[in-house]
Amino acid sequence: MPTVHFANHDFSLNSPYAKLVGFASVLIAVGFIIWSPSWQQAAIAILAIVILLLTGYWLIVKSRVGYTFTPTHIQQHLSRGGWVVKWNNISKIGICTYQQDGWHRPLPWVGIKLKHYSPYLDAICPRIATEILLSQRALLYLGACQHQQQTRFEDMVLDSRIYRENQHKSYSGLMAMLANRMSYQRHYFDYDIFISSNDLDRSAEEFVGLARRYLAAAEPD
């Protein structure tokens, strides 16, 4: 299988849209220089334009989520880091669902179920672990509600008990919180890692279909 890269958006400073915004900003700045009653007001206006442009660019970069599929692993790229999982450590990939009135309804999340937690936990950085814990609180609450365990929600969110995968491997602190969260999510949804469908450049079904082809073609352990 070939290596593929894709992201939820491919903004570039060389794109026609970026060049148009830059040209318009220059025109506005020149207009302030020419027609402002004083150089101080022109300087303030130009500074405000620069701040707006930099803020917009930072928000665009921060919102970019990329993915790499190789014959050996899947990787998620975020502005502050990411995570990587080998295909041979994945037992299944699918659309996350919840049960309501006897029906399984899809959620806007793609789920990945791992065979072992330790390779994932050893490779992820603390900043990304923190972001996952914060961004997936609502998903955890939904799972708790589905199993009538709302009263346990606060305890689960802050659960930092030492996590032991086996007699030789244990985690404490932030990594223990992430491992315990993954364990709760597995109980509720039968998945450990979750990818928001809003972070994809295609439908969740298309993403899952592509991932399953790579998973099927990967070499076993």
Helices (H) and strands (E) in the chain, counts: 8, 9
Three-state DSSP at 193 gives strand
Where helices occur in the chain by DSSP H, the ranges are 16-35, 39-63, 118-123, 126-135, 137-146, 153-157, 173-189, 204-217
Whole-number Å distance between alpha carbons of 30 and 32: 5
Q: What is the pLDDT of residue 28?
A: 78
Three-state DSSP at 143 gives helix
Q: What is the pLDDT of residue 78?
A: 84
The model carries a pTM of 0.80
Contact 96, 188 (CB under 8 A): no
Q: What is the pLDDT of residue 17?
A: 66
Of residues 142 and 43, more confidently modeled: 142
Q: What is the pLDDT of residue 15?
A: 63
Domain boundaries along the sequence of the chain: 6-63, 88-217
